[in-house]
A = this chain, B = another copy of it.
Amino acid sequence: MAHTGSTEPVRIGIVGLGTVGSGVVRLLVDSADHITRHAGRPIEVAAAVVRDPAKDRDCTLPAIPISTDIATISQDPSITIAALLVGGLEPARSMMVELLENGKDVVTANKALLAEHGPELFELARRLGRSIAFEAAVAGGIPIVAAIGECLAANRIESIRGILNGTSNFILTRMEEDGSSYAEALALAQAKGFAEADPSMDVDGTDATQKLAILSHLAFGVWVPWKEIPRTGIDTVDIDLIHYAAELGYRIRLVAVARRSNGRLAMRVAPALVKIGTPLAETRGAYNAVSIVGDAVGRMFFHGLGAGQMPTASAVVADIIDTVVGRTAITFRTTGLLSADTPAAKLAGGDASERHFLRIVVTDRPGVLARITGILGDHGISIASVIQHDPIATGDAPATSIPPDVALVIMTHSCPSSAVHEALLSIDRCDAVRGKSVCLGVLDE
């Protein structure tokens, strides 16, 4: 290690030469002098493993031995660190196990792998005296893993709020700024390379939820299987909702939240209204943002590119440097991340109170508003404001005597989510109500 005085190059293996993998190789080559200064010794890419060696690759990359066999890295004793930069669960999981069992420290950007198999992989690494670094797995270039795990170590974290999925945020920003439909904005995100051909893990909230599970472990010292976190994606957001929110002074963002609530953790990933002018509302395009409240430090806010080749590569290489100099090993051992005795998170139910934004589409006839506000009142829900909009255009249908549909947009005062959901069950059963009503949480600061 550098601080022992060795200046021999460290040899690393790269598993996966996709967008992030080639970014890491490029950064290690282009910024070699700079990186050597921080690592105390040169870092040399010794070998790469890919699925399809015939695939076209960035021809500006240096010539490195490329193989399809993980053994070319795992069995090479001169390689001490492997960067595992493939997505998905398999073969990523088996590769990580093989690398650890053969004495490699691992750096990864694979949040799905950690959210799904983190506990077993971390236990294995600890048992073998190895480390796993994963700054790049959450919020790309934002050093949020180090911030929570090290810099805020003296704090009891009260809450985390984040915009953790750049694809969703890009789509919502385009809808809001261009008036595009969800489908148009998604197509643009795909054309620009911000969304995968199959964007479902991004837009259904899976990706953000897996990241929230990892951050919550760091912040609260508990483990929560990501599938237990309530999750709603942005595929439920239409352009009308964005317009109504704007009218009230809000934008819609896919927000991941974890906060202490009566000895439990209230967690969710869902579209929410965020007040214009607050930092989350000003987070646009492919940017990510994280706001953390610690008991000593107060509110901290971090903003940066959450995805993309070089921001993610920057985080991977910082982890490689930390592993070379020995900081990763220390953090991994002292904080006991994801150890066998990590307690399971106790999730709070829907009884946490906040303001809610409701959109209820109704047939425009006398008494409907009274009926709906009556049901809300019966559930103890107090209304802050109501907007009833003009009848919804029904294409070029001729005027008839059938009453048109109108949208009721209601902002409540703070009340338990459970009460709102029960009220909406009754409301959605009313004859006059069309389709399923929408309910979003409201974040005023």
Contacts and interface: CB of A to CB of B under 8 A. Distances in A.
A108 B394 CA distance: 68
A302 interface: yes
Nearest to A34: B156
A397 interface: no
Contact of A152 (B155, B314, B325, B336): B314
**Range of interface residues on A (Cβ < 8 Å):** 35 or more
The quantity of this chain's copies bound in the complex is: 2
B151 A37 contact: no
Contacts of A152: 143, 314, 318
A311 B299 CA distance: 9
A243 interface: no
A299 B283 CA distance: 13
Interface in A310-351: 310-311, 313-315, 317-318, 321-322, 325-327, 329-331, 333-336
Interface in A1-43: 2-3, 23, 27, 31, 34-35, 37-40
Contact of A298 (B141, B154, B282, B318): B141
A147 interface: yes
Nearest to A144: B151
Contacts of A154: 27, 31, 34-35, 38, 313-314, 317-318, 321
Contact of A300 (B3, B141, B297, B321): B141
A322 B38 contact: no
Q: List the 8 closest pairs (A to B, CB-CB), nearest first.
A: A143-B151, A154-B317, A296-B314, A141-B297, A38-B153, A301-B303, A40-B334, A300-B304
25 contacts: A27-B296, A31-B154, A31-B155, A31-B156, A34-B154, A34-B156, A37-B335, A38-B153, A38-B154, A38-B335, A141-B297, A141-B300, A142-B300, A155-B314, A282-B282, A296-B310, A296-B313, A296-B317, A298-B304, A298-B310, A301-B302, A302-B303, A325-B331, A325-B334, A326-B326
Interface of A: 2-3, 23, 27, 31, 34-35, 37-40, 135, 141-143, 146-147, 150-156, 221, 277, 279, 282, 294-305, 308, 310-311, 313-315, 317-318, 321-322, 325-327, 329-331, 333-336
Given A3-B333, A153-B321, A295-B310, 16 more contacts: A2-B334, A23-B296, A31-B154, A31-B295, A34-B156, A39-B334, A146-B151, A154-B317, A296-B313, A300-B303, A301-B303, A301-B304, A302-B302, A302-B303, A303-B303, A325-B334
